[in-house]
Amino acid sequence: MSSSTTFADAAPAPRHAPPILEIVNAVHAYDGVVALDNVSVSAAPGEFLTILGESGSGKTTLLRLISGLEKPYRVGTLKLEGVDVREVPAFQRNCTTVFQNYALFPHMSVGANVEYGLKVRGLPPKEREARAREALRLVQLQEMYDRKVHQLSGGQRQRVALARALVPRPAILLLDEPLGALDEKLRVDMQVELMQLHKQLGMTFIYITHSQEEALTMSDRIILMRKGKIEQAGPPAEIFDSPISSFAAKFMGVDNCFEGELDALADGWASVSVGGRRIDGRWTGKAAPKLGSKVAVGMRAEWLQLADTSPEPSTGHNVLDCVAEASIYKGKYLDRTVKTPLGPLKARIWDAASSARNPSFVRWKKGDCIVMNA
């Protein structure tokens, strides 16, 4: 690894720089269980790329292929900084990993933990210490150099693990659910710190999480994985607003999803028959299916409006009759469930005082209704 630059030298990569990571058609299986099924991923220098997915979707396997901890069963291209690393062992790859369980030596000092990798590489003690102190300053633990790891809190341990991964000044930092073991408040604080660190260092971060909220908050781009394949990839706003499938929509928190038959599709707008009703919405799916095919319709709870009386007719809205079912108080908002010809719909009410008392209609903008692959 290069030691000619310091953290302070970090500068943003030039626009249109070649990818720092390139994976083409990676396949991997464990004892016949397919973990990665022809996955292709690239990352730009300085990008914050998040791999999002449920448990078992292949996120960690992908990270281990990049770090060299796992050798892929088959891969077309595996390049770091433009160099083929298929035969390069983990310790010679210019990337380091931060693990969820920290993987620190508990009875060694913070300084010794952070310096460990540099010691293995044979760096002299003075340089090791200077670099460890600099990395600890980055994670705001400059006072903790001599403290034993077992005397630290969970959040402090994760910072030490981060400093240890940063100290070799890798081109890519791999983070495997690094905040998973922290409590809610600390996790939110650490998200902000990681984003600041990423900006300050200009380093490429590849971040694994199963939390859509974490992915949306932190990333330049999200790759959503499903059963070893990429379901959808794009900037957070794109995946949030325009999921391509009911799987992506549900993962991104779209509360109401129904299956229906495609009646019409033109100019980015679709009409769908669901439960004997016609619903219109924005087409956000991939390849356009044939008319009559099964598609999915989705709407977020906060997009729905409930009314006691029939709303004014509007060509820009979908309207359904409904019967009130349940109401759950959530503090900041109220979640109300209504029975409709489509099935039960969840509506989120932020202003409970002015909400319909006994709703018999639900409406939402056609632009706030998404139609996608089932």
Ligand X SMILES: Nc1ncnc2c1ncn2[C@@H]1O[C@H](COP(=O)(O)OP(=O)(O)OP(=O)(O)O)[C@@H](O)[C@H]1O
Q: Which is nearer to ligand X, 55 or 92 (CB)?
A: 55
Helix (H, G, I), strand (E, B) or coil at 297: strand
Using the rule CB under 6 A, is 35 a contact of ligand X? Answer: yes
Give whichever of 38 and 273 is closer to ligand X, judged by the CB atom.
38
Among 46, 47, 49, 57, binds ligand X (CB under 6 A): 57
Please give the Cα distance from 236 to 248 (Å, whole number).
12
Beta bridge partners of 370: 282, 298
Beta carbon nearer to ligand X, 36 or 136: 36
Q: Is 56 in the site for ligand X (CB under 6 A)?
A: yes
3-class DSSP state of 363 = strand
Residue whose CB is less far from ligand X, 210 or 221: 210
Quick check: 61 binds ligand X (CB under 6 A)? Answer: yes
Q: How far is the CB of 53 from ligand X (least distance, A)?
A: 5
User: Using the rule CB under 6 A, which residue among 50, 60, 245, 284 binds ligand X?
Assistant: 60
Give the shortest CB-52-to-ligand X separation in angstroms. 9
30 binds ligand X (CB under 6 A): yes
- Nearest-5° Cα angle at 55, 53 to 58: 65
A 10 A CB-CB count for 236 gives 19
Other CB atoms closer than 10 Å to residue 312's CB: what's the count? 9
Q: Which is nearer to ligand X, 59 or 187 (CB)?
A: 59
CA–CA dist 172, 204 (Å, integer): 5
Quote the least distance from Cβ 315 to ligand X, whole Å: 44
Which tokens in the block code for residue 12? Answer: 């943003």
Contact 35, 72 (CB under 8 A): no
What binding mask, one character per residue, do residues 202-241 give for ligand X by CB under 6 A, x or -? Answer: --------x-------------------------------
Residues with Cβ within 8 Å of residue 184, at least 6 apart in sequence: none
Nearer to ligand X, 101 or 196 (CB): 101
Q: Six-digit token pair at 203?
A: 């380093």
Interacting residues toward ligand X by CB under 6 A: 30-31, 33, 35, 53, 55-61, 210
